[in-house]
Structure 1
Amino acid sequence: MNSITRSFATALLAVAASTAFAAAAAPPPANAAVPPTSSYIATGDGVQLYYKDWGPKDGPVVAFSHGWPLSSDSWESQMLFLAENGYRVIAHDRRGHGRSSQPWDGNDMDHYADDLATVIETLDLKDVVLVGFSTGGGEVARYIGRHGTGRVKKAVLVSAVPPQMLKTPSNPGGLPIEVFDGIRAGAQANRSQLYLDIASGPFFGFNRPGAKPSQGLINSFWAQGMMAGHKNTYDSIAAFSATDFTEDLKRFDVPTLVIHGDDDQLVPIDASGKASAKLVKGAKLIVYAGAPHGITDTHKDRLNQDLLDFIKE
């Protein structure tokens, strides 16, 4: 080793030593003791549910249930708007989705509804306005069917799957099983591509003539979907398509708002939004003309205002 190399090595050692000493002497960050589970709730079967709790803690409560294969991030526009208007807004990542645990079993509507109940009861929420989008609308319906409305003030179904998506002898207006088998096949073959195809096409209506696709929205849908578990999202296809929510809807005894786009290519309005509005006594139906499935993003300003107006009523 020549003198120049030795000098360079000595200098590096001196810098490393001084850096290590400074790090050891420096106080720990102020948040070092904050437990990483502060935004998680455990269910009875050991699933960790991630949740967001925004806005004033003493404000009226609005709780959101998201769609497939997304996470609570899909509600961020509505949550930010309502929180800024004085509401406490809460949304959890469904089991198997987002930042929540990915259990092998329990990927069905009964478990989804019971998980929502766990969130509501753990946080001791009362007079809650429940808002469910797509699969989340089924979650809200099944929650009321299984747990009643003792803690619920109002309900909102947005582009929601109830009463039932699958075509059956008792539900002739539903979609044939081949549609959902196709989604399952796509998920098994290449679920990453499946999510891109859904987001680039029918979810936001980007496949319609004259539509201007947003790469940002496509990327967001894909990223949320890929955070979810493969087995969980696969099982959930049956949960959101084959579950019959008819009896659950008949148990609604709180003011209910149904919002649906009449160009929803994924959850057609006639067999879903319109049918749900007929089953829920006194429900109010708002139809967004020409709107696609993903109106939480494509029509967020109108949806935000409609939600606020209904909550204030």
Structure 2
Amino acid sequence: MPTIRTKDNVEIFYKDWGSGQPIVFSHGWPLSSDDWDAQMLFFLDHGYRVIAHDRRGHGRSTQVAEGHDMDHYADDLAALTAHLDLKNAIHVGHSTGGGEVVHYLARHGESRAAKAVIIAAVPPLMVRTASNPGGLPKEVFDDFQKQVADNRSQFYREVAAGPFYGYNRPDAKPSEAVIQNWWRQGMMGGAKAHYDGIVAFSQTDFTEDLKKISVPVLVMHGDDDQIVPYADSGPLSAKLLKNGTLKTYKGFPHGMPTTQAAIINADLLAFIRS
């Protein structure tokens, strides 16, 4: 399998398909690069080089006990872009991956990047604080950690079958295959990485990172996102970015790159070509 080895000796698995302008995809918690199947096939077919990695501790990457924080996530992404010598790349991040992309651009600079897209992403800050009164209480994320530790298999099943894809809404039509694929990806990864990753995605403040970014950034968010609530994320990120554009999707869930792939892919393509 294609992997790179980071400076702290972690093997990161990645996919690298096609040729042309590179699009780099960063996945959400607790998934893997497989969550981008619908996007990678679409953009490969449209003449782009598509790249996606499994975050450390996730998917097929090494299940280490350490380094499950945004600094390491961003550094691993930087190591991948340097290894592949990517230039003029478009970075696309979903959920936690959106935080990874934002932190990567702010921490490592934009010399290799042309544009970015953050989809249903965790920035600017998920947890409630004095300066972020619209955030979710820390107890919500403490409970996530408890459920990962107690029975993550059951927890992952419930997340996928319920709020992640909006399958708990009255008019929803749940796909058992989509639910099982989410569960499969989650269970491939390591419990320690997923446990620590909850702190990384919920307590990292990306406010200053967003202010540093100058490349064009498309912020895509559904207003029925039950995982990363819309009002305290997408609109705030777009305002903090120097060159941000907010696109709001009425009624779309957190997992909209899967449930609404045709719409999301078309809008991504239009932004990339613009």
- Give the TM-score taking structure 2 as reference length: 0.99
Query: Which residue of 2 is the match for residue 55 of structure 1?
Result: 18
Give distance in 1, aligned partners of 2:201 and 2:243: 25
Q: 1:198 aligns with which of 142, 159, 175?
A: 159
Aligned positions of 1:1-313 closer than 5 A: 37=1, 39-56=2-19, 59-313=20-274
Look up the SS of the partner of 2:71 in the other structure.
Answer: helix
Q: Deviation per CA, 1:112-143, whole angstroms, max 9, x where unpaired?
A: 00000000000000011000000000000110
Q: Pick the structure with greater CA Rg.
A: 1
Give distance in 2, aligned partners of 1:74 and 1:263: 20
Give distance in 2, aligned partners of 1:127 and 1:184: 38
Q: Deviation per CA, 1:39-91, whole angstroms, max 9, x where unpaired?
A: 111100000000000122xx011000000000000001001000000000000
- Give the TM-score taking structure 1 as reference length: 0.87
Runs of 5+ unmatched residues, structure 2: none
Runs of 5+ unmatched residues, structure 1: 1-36
Letter in 1 for 2:211: K
Give distance in 2, aligned partners of 1:218 and 1:298: 11
Give distance in 1, aligned partners of 2:9 and 2:211: 31
Give 1:185 shift: 1.0
Give distance in 2, aligned partners of 1:145 and 1:269: 23
Look up the SS of the partner of 1:270 in the other structure.
Answer: helix
Look up the SS of the partner of 1:91 in the other structure.
Answer: strand
Percent of pairs with identical residues? 59
Query: Which residue of 2 is the match for residue 10 of structure 1?
Result: none
Look up the SS of the partner of 2:229 in the other structure.
Answer: coil
Q: Tell me the C-alpha RMSD between the 2 structures.
A: 0.6
8 Å contact from structure 1 (residues 67, 134) kept in 2? yes
Look up the SS of the partner of 2:4 in the other structure.
Answer: strand
Aligned residues: 274
Give 1:222 shift: 0.2
8 Å contact from structure 1 (residues 103, 232) kept in 2? yes
8 Å contact from structure 1 (residues 128, 151) kept in 2? yes
Letter in 2 for 1:45: D
Give distance in 1, aligned partners of 2:34 and 2:158: 20
Letter in 2 for 1:82: F
